[in-house]
Amino acid sequence: MYGPGGITYVWQIQYGVRVNVDDASRTSSAKVYEITPGNVEINRTVQDGVAWFDPGSRVKVVAEANEGGQNGLSLNGWEKWSPPRSQCRADFS
């Protein structure tokens, strides 16, 4: 580049969804989907990261309820964090 240049940033608020698993062997057990206006589910899962969504986006978060087998682990709850420092939690029994 041999002349003046510039960068324009377009900022907006986004919402993040982070999915964590306790063992790398279970990374396929949890998924994050964006639901389009035509009800198409687009996989937006980011392992060990955050999937970002615009305000008003429809999001579906799913996890395997039970690993299977006699000693299989099972889902026992979820947590939702919203700024500033508010939290919602659900535990399954």
Q: How far apart are the C-alpha atoms of 34 and 47, rounded to whole Å?
A: 15
Q: Quick one: pLDDT at residue 85?
A: 45
Q: How many domains does the chain have?
A: 1
Is 16 a residue whose pLDDT tops 80?
A: yes
- CA distances (Å), 29 to each of 64, 66, 75, in order? 5, 9, 10
| pLDDT at res. 35 | 92
59 belongs to a structural domain: yes
Inside any domain, residue 30:
yes
Residue 59 CA to residue 43 CA, distance in Å, equals: 10
Average pLDDT on 86-92 reads 47
Q: Which structural domain range is residue 25 located in?
A: 21-65
Please indicate, yes or no, if residue 16 is contained in any of the structural domains: no
Best-predicted range by mean pLDDT (46-50, 74-78, 88-92): 46-50
Cα–Cα distances in angstroms (integers) from residue 39 to residues 16, 51, 55, 56, 86, in the given order: 21, 19, 17, 14, 30
- Mean pLDDT estimate for the chain: 77
Q: pLDDT digit string (tens) for 20-62?
A: 777 777 777 788 899 999 999 999 988 777 888 888 888 888 8
